[in-house]
Structure 1
Amino acid sequence: MATDEEHIRPDGVDDLTVEALGNISEALEAVEIARGHLYAFHRLSGTGDLTLGKGVAQLREAGHTELADRFERDLVGRNVLHGRWTFQVVEEYDDGYYATFKQLEKEARTALVEGRRHIYESEMKEDRRTHGAPGHEYRPGSHE
């Protein structure tokens, strides 16, 4: 196997530990995607509220005052969850679940594999690549 210290398993680390850390890493990747969707939700909800405000102003200008009043009272600027706008949802997620996940994943890697990342994937790459073939190099700049 080619050497790339930051991606090879330290001596004495068993397969199950590498696989467990690989699954935890994969779970974190899913949480990262979920976090991205949460930020998209935040942006889209904010855009929706601002655009709604424009539409309500146009309703009012067109003489539909009662309907415009109802939109303003019941929907414009409304919390998306009890007591929360989307920025508060994002902050609570970031500071709670997400921060805890990131911290524990890093602590596990530090305790078990000297902080190294993607060992499982690195070993999968080594197993699946065609040694010496173009496009199958071990890392950038290598020719093996």
Structure 2
Amino acid sequence: MEEFPVAKSSQRRRPDGVDDNTVEALGKLSEALETVERARGYLYDFHQLVGGADIKLDEAATMFENAGHPDIAAKIRTELIGLNVLDGRWTFQVVEEFDDGYWSTFRAVEKHARDNLVQGVRHVFEAEMKEDRRTEGRVGHEPEPPH
């Protein structure tokens, strides 16, 4: 296991007594949360794409009517427009259920771990890796932005 020096920035410093294994575990938990955040973004993309498609169905139905195909237009209007994407749910309900359940719980557990193990400090693992990899005194390698 590679050891990283304690970050010099007081904002991201590893609290006294916190071992490398704990910092690595918190780093992995943070990485998992970041992956879920990306998945959440895709869920919102899904929500907006399906909603946009539903609106386009109105246009398609009108176009079928104008082209002399009222039966196709009626089928679109009665069977597709307004159809639940999951049992009893439109996409906004899927997003809300995900946000209120899995996503909120994940964030709370990750925060609980940080609060209890490193006094709430975020990204300790990454801050220590940055400190190890940067060149002291080199422009663009500063430990923190200027305040």
Instruction: With the length of structure 2 as denominator, give the TM-score of the two structures.
Output: 0.92
Shift of 1:62: 2.2
State the one-letter code of the partner of 2:91: T
Shift of 1:58: 1.5
Instruction: With the length of structure 1 as denominator, give the TM-score of the two structures.
Output: 0.94
Residue by residue, what CA displacement relative to the aligned partner does 1:67-95 show, whole Å, maximum 9, x if unpaired? 11111122111111111100000000000
- CA distance in structure 2 between the partners assigned to 1:140 and 1:69 by the alignment: 60
- CA distance in structure 2 between the partners assigned to 1:41 and 1:2 by the alignment: 40
Task: Identify the structure with bigger relative contact order (alpha carbons < 8 Å, sequence gap 6+).
Answer: 2
| Cα distance, 1:9–1:2 mapped onto 2, change above 3 Å | closer
1:126/1:138 contact within 8 Å kept: yes
| Cα distance, 1:2–1:97 mapped onto 2, change above 3 Å | closer
Gap regions ≥5 residues in structure 1:
none
- 1:101 aligns with one of 70, 88, 106: 106
1:61 is matched with 66
- CA distance in structure 1 between the partners assigned to 2:104 and 2:65 by the alignment: 45
- 2:126 aligns with one of 121, 124, 142: 121
Task: Show the 5 A alignment for 1:37-116.
Answer: 37-116=42-121
Shift of 1:53: 1.2
- CA distance in structure 1 between the partners assigned to 2:81 and 2:62 by the alignment: 11
1:10 is matched with 15
2:3 is matched with none
Residue by residue, what CA displacement relative to the aligned partner does 1:43-79 show, whole Å, maximum 9, x if unpaired? 1110010011111112112221011111112211111
What root-mean-square deviation, in Å, do the aligned CA atoms of Structure 1 and Structure 2 show? 1.3
Q: What SS does structure 2 have at the residue aligned with 1:4?
A: coil
State the one-letter code of the partner of 2:71: E
Q: Mean alpha-carbon deviation: is it higher for 103-112 or for 74-83? A: 74-83
- CA distance in structure 1 between the partners assigned to 2:54 and 2:30 by the alignment: 36
Identity within the alignment, %: 56
State the one-letter code of the partner of 1:75: L
